[in-house]
């Protein structure tokens, strides 16, 4: 079965991360319905599509090992097993805050246990992780040496988690650039392009139109007339670009 890391705790992060854009998309849909005199059913819930795609892509990155850009593709089998054993005990909030805990002197020494179950005795918590992942460590350690074993597990996880977390931050930056719309009709596409650039369109439902519009759309954002040194208004949409051009030419 596919993994479902952080299944019950990741949704809170996804909701918070996408809220600003989802609010924008909700308002944009309402604007189109009001201005274009089209039925509500003509326009999909862009906000729901966006948050759904965002969450799906993030969860695929975490859970699908067949992807060449997955979270664990650069780790050895033993490293991956150890990480998954630990992540299985963490909430997504713990995943996000572990590095901060390691920098807090009150929690740094046993950050991992604080974020999982601090009521479990050290000799049980760390011993179990060690025994399940002996292949990852260079030499055998007596489970009786609890303090050393705990230090070993904490240090190993910290090293590997920092690498995962750096990959996670890069993935989030990538998702932040994700397309906002997946139009299913050309008329809908045309209405969206009055307000958003082509880079915000995913042509997954209209692949036959992709080349047509990529060739057709002028490179407005690189227009010589609109370089920052020659104009001061902020460009946010196609309408504003055209207005800026007309102002520049004295026709507005």
pLDDT tens column, 98-116: 999 999 988 888 888 888 8
Predicted confidence at residue 224, as pLDDT, reads: 46
Please enumerate in sequence order all residues whose Cβ is within 8 A of that of 131, keeping only pairs 6 or more positions apart, or say none: 143
Q: Taking 60 as the threshold, does the pLDDT of residue 57 lie above it?
A: yes
pLDDT at 218: 52
Residue 77 lies in a domain: yes
pTM of the model: 0.80
**Does residue 226 fall inside a structural domain?**
no
Residue tagged 């039925």 (tokens): 39
Q: How far apart are CA 167 and CA 159, in angstroms?
A: 13
Position 77 scores a pLDDT of 95
- Among the ranges given (122-126, 131-135, 207-211), the one the predictor scored with the smallest mean pLDDT: 122-126
Could you tell me what percent of the chain has a pLDDT over 70?
80
Tokens in use for 123?
């000799």
Least confidently predicted of 50-59, 60-69, 84-93, 154-163: 60-69
Q: How many folded domains does the chain comprise? A: 1
| Mean pLDDT of the 46-58 span | 98
Strand-pairing partners, residue 176, are: none
Confidence of residue 45 (pLDDT cuts 50, 70, 90): very high
The verdict on residue 224 lying in a domain is no
Q: Are 132 and 153 in contact (CB under 8 A)?
A: no
Closest CA to 91 of 2, 1, 3, 7: 7
Residue 20 is assigned to a structural domain of this protein: yes
What pLDDT, on a 0 to 100 scale, did the predictor assign at position 227?
Answer: 43
Q: What is the pLDDT of residue 220?
A: 47
With respect to residue 160, please indicate whether it lies within any of the assigned structural domains. yes
Least confident of 40-44, 138-142, 160-164, 235-239: 235-239
**Owning domain of residue 118:** 10-176
What band does 13 get if pLDDT is binned at 50, 70 and 90? very high
In a domain? residue 63: yes
Cα 243-183-201 angle, rounded to 5 deg:
55
Query: How big is the chain, counted in residues?
Result: 252
Residue 93: exposure state from Cβ atoms within 10 A (0-12, 13-18, ≥19)? middle
Evaluate whether residue 189 is within a structural domain: no
Position 186 scores a pLDDT of 96
With a CB cutoff of 8 Å and minimum separation 6, the contacts of 119 are: none
State the greatest distance between any 2 C-alpha atoms of the chain, in Å, as a whole number: 84
């Amino acid at each position: 079965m596919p993994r479902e890391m952080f299944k019950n705790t990741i949704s809170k992060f996804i909701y918070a991360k996408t809220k600003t854009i989802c609010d924008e998309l909700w308002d944009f849909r309402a604007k189109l319905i009001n201005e274009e005199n089209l039925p509500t059913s003509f326009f999909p819930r862009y906000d729901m599509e966006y948050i759904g795609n965002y969450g799906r892509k993030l969860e695929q990155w975490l859970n699908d090992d067949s992807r060449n850009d997955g979270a664990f593709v650069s780790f050895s089998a033993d490293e991956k097993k150890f990480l998954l054993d630990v992540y299985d005990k963490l909430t997504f909030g713990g995943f996000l805050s572990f590095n901060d805990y390691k920098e807090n002197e009150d929690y740094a020494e046993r950050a991992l246990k604080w974020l999982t179950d601090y009521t479990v005795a050290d000799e049980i918590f760390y011993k179990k992780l060690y025994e399940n992942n002996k292949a990852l460590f260079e030499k055998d350690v007596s489970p009786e040496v609890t303090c050393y074993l705990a230090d070993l597990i904490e240090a190993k996880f910290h090293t590997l988690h920092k690498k995962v977390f750096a990959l996670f931050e890069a993935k989030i930056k990538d998702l932040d650039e994700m397309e906002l719309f997946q139009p299913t009709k050309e008329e809908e596409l045309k209405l969206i392009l009055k307000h958003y650039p082509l880079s915000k369109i995913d042509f997954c439902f209209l692949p036959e139109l992709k080349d047509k519009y990529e060739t057709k759309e002028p490179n407005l954002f690189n227009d010589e007339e609109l370089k920052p040194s020659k104009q001061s208004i902020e460009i946010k949409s196609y309408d504003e670009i055209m207005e800026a051009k007309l102002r520049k030419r004295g026709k507005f």
